[in-house]
Chains A and B, each alone.
Chain A
Amino acid sequence: MTLTDPEHLEQSEAGGLGDNIDGAERVKRRGSDSAVLRLSEAECAEIGNDPNTDADDERVLLNMGPSHPSTHGVLRLMLEMEGETVLRSKPVVGYLHTGMEKQAEQLTYLQGGTNVTRMDYASPLFTELAFSLATEKLLGIEVPERATWIRMLMCELNRMSSHLLFMATNGMDLGAVSMMIYGWREREEVLRFFEKVTGLRMNHNYIRPGGVAADMPDGWEADVEHLLALIPPRLEEYDILMTGQPIWRERLQGVGVLNADEALALSATGPILRSTGYAWDLRRDEPYLAYSAVDFDVIVGSYGDCYDRYAIRLNEIRESMRIVEQILDKMPAGDYRVQDKKVTPPPRVRIDQSMEALIHHFKIFTEGYKVPEGEAYACVESPRGELGVYLVSDGTSTPYRMHVRGPSFINVQTMPHLMQNGLIADGVAIISSVDPIMGEVDR
């Protein structure tokens, strides 16, 4: 049944729960009978204070979050419960809103990376990449090959670290506490490599319009090989600890089911969409960077449940490692930033040698570079789905408007549909399997 199925709507208007009040009254008080609870805060308070509430009406409005260990940050869910069953729910977002899209209008394209990287803090390089690709589209420049491959390497490693973090939190949310420690441990190994390359564990500002900030450090191949050797046996352990574990399976299989039509209607992307069996991966379907030059599989599920979403992410770590291996072999030599002196500052030594270089250096670091008028959208496959950056330029050195299509934000919409008629304990598994990063939801 699809969400827009009229029969479904009709059915829900007429019958179902709370038969003791008539339909119109119920709709007024609790919204329609879709999965989404459509009540304002004021209406909730009104219901709570209503002395005429039927004594047999066992429905309870419950707030989960915004400060709850299993809501991954500051997500708040309003749940309409009957006993332990979730009837309807409403995700309430905005608790982490920091006005980053507005902030982007104050920062030059050079500084912009420091801002966008803070949105999805579990996979910062992807937002930097989408922002850079959109800016490059407007500038009409092509980045050197090595920069493209470095970007790909860093992003795939970032996908690994992000999914490893998911493994940790997914395990923790469902009571596999050792898994939490193992997940963080492996992720730390990846972050240690990032620290070597970019100087920071997260929020790197490393991928910039025109290329990347610095070349790979000396001996980076050995570090990557170390990671590639270290992680597969650990993933085997995860398989024993979780994939094959009967408790784990019983907890996740058949929980939070979505079909492909529903996922598409809700614009869900990433592992949520793929778990329904719909193979959609921008790396393959709208190749960017050099993804058409590497070999990898798009992992899909078949049941669209929490278990599929878990298994997809676990196997995506393996696919990313496959890509990283190929990148190690194929990494080209050459420049790592476009040699366009309007966009890239001159090599440091040139500042002392040439007046023109000095002027470019000053201009780029103070007023930034001007980007031609126009608009551009660039999207990448982040660990959470389609991550797009839409930029409007008015010809100055700061964006006129920036909008980010955050996959976390859009995936949060699936939650009420996944949770409907499930147990609240399964709700925890569902929130975890949607894997929202609140920094990206609220921006």
Chain B
Amino acid sequence: MADPLDYLRGFAVTFKKLFEDRVTGDYRGGKAKEGAPDNKRPKPERFHGRHVLNRYEDGMEKCIGCELCAGVCPAKCIYVRGADNDPDDPTSPGERFGYVYEINYLRCIHCDLCVEACPTQAITESKLFEFSFTNRNDAIYTKNELVVDDDGMPQKMPWEDWREGDDQLTSGWMRATSSAGDHRYEGSVHWAGELGYGVRAPEVGQSAGTISTDGGNSPAEVRSENDG
């Protein structure tokens, strides 16, 4: 026989919740009236959001138009065309630069394989994921919209809901995957500086930099082991 009190014990659980802390926040999707709270949950460093095209600290673009990102994209949503740099007024260091760059966000699945593939850390991810469009043209981000502004910050489109800090953690997934499984490369810098942020610190990881990675001076034994 069921204990009649068992019926009531269930209600006690739900009743108690009235006095517990709320787990949900006040979120109004950027449409809050003056003064009303409108908070978003902080996003983790590795979060895959809308992409940005980075620039070097001197303002040069990082993209070299190699199309690796377009090649790896499983959703086939990147379109890149490279062109030769004008020697007198180069867009990027080196010979080539990304002349056309488009990402179709109606297709993108935010797997961030493009971020892992890019050899120059040109394409990385911001923490923005709230962007909805009312027409297809807005959904196709062109280079003009993706490339960071002169302060190195992502450009903010009118239909995007940016909050403070969303633009601060860019490139986290690129940094997290840079050691490519080799624990000795964890905790060391594998990337060039970014306009607006400088050289970002790596995650500490397991071993905190047992290999020096300062541009080609790594120990000989590591080199032969890897190239063998």
Interface residues of A, Cβ cutoff 8 Å to B: 107, 110-111, 114-115, 144, 146-147, 178, 185, 188, 195-200, 203, 205, 210-211, 213-215, 217-218, 237, 240-242, 244-247, 249, 333-339, 341, 344-354, 356-358, 361-362, 365-366
Contact = CB atoms under 8 A, between A and B. Distances in A.
Interface string B112-128: 11001101010001000
A179 to B, nearest CB: 9
Among B177, B181, B206, chain A packs the most CB atoms within 10 A around the CB of B181
A246 B6 contact: yes
B19 interface: no
B178 interface: yes
Contacts of A240: 9-10, 12-13
Given A111-B72, A199-B112, A361-B119, A214 B182 contact: no
A152 B41 CA distance: 28
Main SS of the interface on chain B? Answer: loop
A246 B7 contact: yes
A297 to B, nearest CB: 26
Contacts of A188: 23
A100 B45 CA distance: 31
A339 B182 contact: yes
Given A114-B111, A341-B226, A335 B216 contact: no
A351 B3 CA distance: 69
A203 B181 contact: no
Contacts of A337: 180-182
- Interface size bracket, B side: 35 or more
A356 B172 CA distance: 26
A351 B119 contact: yes
Residue from A200, A214, A334 with most neighbouring chain B CB atoms (10 Å): A214
Contacts of A205: 111, 113
A339 B222 CA distance: 12
Interface in B86-143: 109-113, 116-117, 119, 121, 125
B14 A333 contact: no
A353 B218 contact: yes
A356 B223 CA distance: 11
Interface of B: 2-3, 6-7, 9-10, 12-14, 17, 23, 43-48, 68, 71-72, 74-75, 109-113, 116-117, 119, 121, 125, 172-174, 176-183, 185-186, 188-191, 203-207, 213, 215-216, 218, 223, 226-227
B8 to A, nearest CB: 10
B71 A214 contact: no
Contact of B181 (A195, A197, A249, A344): A344
A356 B227 contact: yes
8 contacts: A213-B177, A245-B6, A246-B3, A334-B206, A337-B182, A346-B226, A361-B117, A365-B113
Contact of B179 (A197, A203, A210, A347): A347
Given A215-B176, A362-B68, A347 B182 contact: yes
B201 to A, nearest CB: 11
Contacts of B204: 218
Contacts of B203: 215, 217-218
Contacts of B119: 351, 358, 361-362
A334 B7 CA distance: 52
A107 B74 contact: yes
A211 B110 contact: no
Contacts of B178: 347-349
Nearest to A143: B181
| 7 interchain residue pairs of minimum CB distance | A337-B181, A246-B2, A348-B190, A348-B178, A349-B190, A365-B117, A111-B74
B216 A353 contact: yes
B173 A199 contact: yes
B74 A335 contact: no
A339 B181 CA distance: 7
B181 A336 contact: yes
Contacts of A199: 44, 46-48, 112, 125, 172-173, 176
B68 to A, nearest CB: 5
Contacts of B177: 213-214
